[in-house]
Amino acid sequence: MKPSSNIWIRRQQCPCGDWKCYMRSEGDDQPSVSPHPAKKERTLSLPTTEAVFTPYVGQIFKSDDEAFEYYSNFARKNGFSIRKARSTESQNLGVYRRDFVCYRSGFNQPRKKANVEHPRDRKSVRCGCDAKLYLTKEIVNSATQWYVSQFSNIHNHELLEDDEVRLLPAYRKIQEADQERILLLSKAGFPVNRIVKLLEIEKGLQPGQLPFIEKDVRNFVRTCKKTVQENDALLNNKRESDAMELLEACKHMTEKDADFVYVYTTDENEKVENIAWSYGHSARAFPAFGDVVTFDTSYRSITYGLLLGIWFGMDNHGKAIFLGCVLLQEESANSYSWALQTFVRFMRGRRPQTILTDLDSGLRDAIARELTNTKHVISIWHVQSKLSSWFSTTLGSQYTEFKAELDTLCHSESMDEFELKWNRVIAQFGLVADKHIALLFSYRALWPLSLIRGYFVARAMTAEYSKSVDIFVKEILTSQTCLPVFFEQVGVASRSVNQAAENLQYMHMKTCMPIEEHAQSILTPYAFKVLQHEMVLSLQYAMTEMANGSYLVRHYKKLDRECFVIWTPEDELIRCSCKEFEHSGILCRHSIRVLVAKNFFQLPEKYFPLRWRLESSLVPVDDHNVPRSSYDCVQAFHSLAASLLTESLTSKERFNYVNRELSSLFDRVRDMPAADDSAANMAPNNESESFQC
């Protein structure tokens, strides 16, 4: 073994606190994020839906490796395995012939018996089978290719069934991520049989369905026993040197970016313990988009023993933006407290209104301690991703019904109703004593959707946003082998998500209501699309006026819950019992229904939050796809010119500066190439080239 590459794994320790309890989140195709592109296993079987045809003489392959993989897949489908026999080479062509044969080809030569009292008499599997595939290399039009010169599929032994052939040594491979997991569990004192069972549970496999057997694990652990100690020493040196290189990279970044900030702590041996960093563009984005922050702590490095935490915000186009990054040695409340304190410092003393996290008792305690005025929400996606691991085996065929009941619980109208239904559901499915049920109940104020409707989350709990966060994390956890390279990956990815201009698409009108046209000119296409959807649905609702200025709004046909809307005309204040505006910053269909009935042709300004407006974009908004009239352009220029004149006349210095800059601007515009006719319909863009504090 050599020192491992930097492999990141999704945290598998269950938040229930039981160190023996590991879990696998739904949707994880791989247990780890590989540090480099996945290596092809030449003996992997093809999917059952893909046909594997019998090789034939004259068949062409681009390389001998491709031929070996093809023949190996054919062999596995037909109940045997293959091995490489002899190869022939010359000075001109190099290796020009490859022989692949059945694993039972040939005969074992008799060996000298060891001078022991009871030597083992092992029987050979080789029986002189003549199944084979011979390759020959040729050059055609200056291109190298390999063709099958001989092929035989005649065996003198029985072929194996599907459930037997996978146990042949050629197909029993322990992948790199599984090797790391096995070594970690072995160091923790797990016996080999327990390691195998844990791997089966984590991968959701039935007993005996791993691509390797207990004997392979035992041999692997035994082979690595001495090397592990040497490897640990090498890894320790690698960790220390890479940590120092990471610090040097941070120092170098401060020279290039004066707004870049980083903080680190050291242990009693003066070695780097925790480190966090952020960029100037992140701090500048926080005032507009730091109201809701997602703190993702899904991954840790098993090479460096570090937990990765990334802070994200959501911009006005519904995309995740990078705010900061931290690497922690421990998953403790104290470590999380240091991380949160550091994040607040990075954001110049500002704190988020709401923070979304995964289930973690240490993180929950740290947030309660450090962010006392911040609402803490557990994303429902984190809860749902764990349900299968927790309950599918326990409940069996009842799991689907249980999941549906839990979804209904999420929409309870009050805590009392939630607790009443909760007790009924867990009793129905016999989960009263289940530790994971107790865990979810202890977090009951943080994750049920109906109980956090009053918290502002800016649509950070949607599937689209969760996907954008996951894409960012996986992007920076690939193709890196050390901490300094990882640091570079974070920098590149953060700039790409924070500075990428949104490709604005003109949203066509659907209702022809004046409030729709007004909203289109103010909101980003993302926010307008959401509001437009509510406008369309509002047409399907009936309104009944109640006492005290309230209205009962219900769907004309569906039997969903009606909502109460309170309208205060003096303040143009409208509130709905669904709390959609408080939750997302987008006015709900019920409120829109009432405002339309009150003959509103424009929504009140207070219902266009700054975070959803076009003017809040981190980059200049390219609005060439948003048609506006020439009259709008003239009005905008007149307004800007009038304001500029007023400000410039306050002093001679201001007037001279404005006159000089306008003259220079006029010369530059006059020298620009003539634009097409569409330029006449473009609105002026008076935003600066970069987001400034």
Burial zone of 490 (CB within 10 Å; 0-12 exposed, 13-18 middle, 19+ buried)? buried
Domain covering 258-379+447-496 assigned CATH 3.30.420.10 in the classification: yes
Residue 522: Cβ within 10 Å count: 17
pLDDT digits (tens, 9 = 90+) for 376-413: 999 888 888 888 888 888 898 999 999 999 988 888 87
pLDDT-derived band of residue 552, with 50, 70 and 90 as boundaries?
very high
- Residue 446 token pair: 């943080």
3-state secondary structure of 120: coil
Alpha-carbon dihedral sign for residues 526, 536, 625, 632: negative
In whole angstroms, give the CA distance from residue 113 to residue 605.
Answer: 93
All residues at 6 or more sequence positions from 446 whose CB lies less than 8 Å from its CB, including other chains: 364, 376, 377, 378, 452
In whole angstroms, give the CA distance from residue 248 to residue 241.
Answer: 11
Is residue 133 pLDDT above 70, yes or no?
A: yes
Contact 174, 164 (CB under 8 A): no
Burial zone of 362 (CB within 10 Å; 0-12 exposed, 13-18 middle, 19+ buried)? middle
Q: What is the mean pLDDT of the chain?
A: 82
3-state secondary structure of 199: helix
Helix axes of 176-187 and 192-203: crossing angle, nearest 10 degrees: 130
Contact 14, 435 (CB under 8 A): no
Which H helix or E strand runs over 620? Answer: none
Q: What is the pLDDT of residue 126?
A: 86
pLDDT digits (tens, 9 = 90+) for 55-92: 999 999 999 999 999 999 899 888 899 999 888 888 77
Backbone angles phi, psi at 25, to 5 degrees: -80, 145
Q: What is the pLDDT of residue 19?
A: 61
Helix axes of 333-346 and 361-370: crossing angle, nearest 10 degrees: 50
The residue extents of the domains of the chain are: 59-107+125-166, 172-256, 258-379+447-496, 514-616
In whole angstroms, give the CA distance from residue 230 to residue 3.
Answer: 9
Q: What is the pLDDT of residue 208?
A: 81
Helix axes of 214-256 and 192-203: crossing angle, nearest 10 degrees: 60
Q: pLDDT: is 294 or 120 the higher one? A: 294
Is residue 313 pLDDT above 90, yes or no?
A: yes
Burial zone of 642 (CB within 10 Å; 0-12 exposed, 13-18 middle, 19+ buried)? exposed
Q: What is the pLDDT of residue 463?
A: 85
Is residue 638 pLDDT above 80, yes or no?
A: no
Q: What is the pLDDT of residue 30?
A: 43
3-state secondary structure of 134: strand
